[in-house]
Amino acid sequence: MFIDSHCHLQDKKFSHDLDNVLERARITGVEKIICIGTSLRDSEEVIKLSEKYDQVFATVGIYPHEEVPDGDFREELITLAKHRKVVAIGECGLDYSDQEGGRQADLQKALFRKQIGTAIQLDLPLVIHNRNADEDILLELSHYKTTGKLKGVFHCFTSDIEFAKKVLDLGFYISFTAMITYPSAKHLEDVIKFIPNDRLLAETDAPYLPPQTHRGERNEPMHVKMTAEKMAQVKGISHADFYAELLNNTQNLFTLN
């Protein structure tokens, strides 16, 4: 059995055939799917999907460049997060890839801190989005380390071994997408070898980042198996044993029943 630990089923690219997408995932062995919220409104849509489909679980959060309501949004975020199918806060974090069109760094940090605090208050894991912000994101998280409740996953990891070590030292899991099947991402193989098996997750980030053999197509949760296969191959270990570890890691982090 597999779990897609990060995807976006609420995306309009799935609006016409979501039932078929979920059935293909099930046939492939993907029994559970974590659908990621990126704004308050988007999080509401994710929760609706989790109510409609047993295999779908939800996260609620605000992406670094997404619109934020006026005033303090935390009360609404907390209300959403208390839904029975919500398993994490996020995706949230820092994204410095669009400094001209995106939210300024200081405002991103303020938004991120509010969501870290909410996750700790509710004892939920964080789903971390990090782009070109390695040191700042570690600094923000380190302020909360002494709480003993800081936990979560760095999704779609693309950084180096040195950064991975710091992420692990904070107690976080690290998740990879099918980017690891791209010829341009060979450097990630050394990172995967470095990370202990019990701290790894697999995801699709669907509809984005399809495997190399499906480039140019819409990605789907069923393809998480291809990411898991590549990770096991890189590790040089039994696929079945590694799949069981991925499953256990994901269930433990997100407290999935």
The contacts of residue 118 (CB under 8 Å, 6+ apart) are 74, 77, 78, 81, 89, 124
- The overall average pLDDT reported for the chain is 96
Residues in the chain: 257
For 124-164, the pLDDT digits (tens) are 999 999 999 999 999 999 999 988 899 999 999 999 999 99
| Tens-place pLDDT, residues 110-122 | 999 999 999 999 9
* DSSP 3-state of 181: helix
pLDDT of residue 70: 76
Using one digit for the tens of pLDDT, what is the confidence trace for 75-107? 999 999 999 999 999 999 999 987 656 688 999
% of the chain beyond a pLDDT of 70: 98
Q: Tell me what pLDDT residue 103 has.
A: 80
Shortest CA distance to 61 belongs to which of 95, 90, 41, 103?
90
Give the per-residue pLDDT at 201: 98
What integer pLDDT is reported at residue 68 of this predicted model?
83
* Residues 165, 102: Cα–Cα separation, whole Å: 29
pTM: 0.96
Q: Are 125 and 251 in contact (CB under 8 A)?
A: no
Query: Residue 38: which pLDDT band, with cuts at 50, 70 and 90?
Result: very high
257 by Cβ neighbours in 10 Å (0-12 / 13-18 / 19+) ranks as exposed
Cβ burial, residue 158 (10 Å; 0-12/13-18/19+): middle
Q: What is the pLDDT of residues 13-31, one digit of tens each?
A: 999 999 999 999 999 999 9
All structural domains of the chain: 2-254 (3.20.20.140)
User: What pLDDT was estimated at residue 71?
Assistant: 77
Give 107-175 as a DSSP string. Answer: HHHHHHHHHHHHHHHHT--EEEEEES-HHHHHHHHHTTGGGS---EEE-S--S-HHHHHHHHHTT-EEE
Q: What is the reported pLDDT for 134?
A: 96
| Alpha-carbon 75 to chain mean position | 23
What is the per-residue pLDDT for 99?
62
Mean pLDDT of the region 219-242: 97
Residue 101 confidence (pLDDT):
61
SS3 content of the chain, % helix, strand, coil (to 5): 50, 15, 35
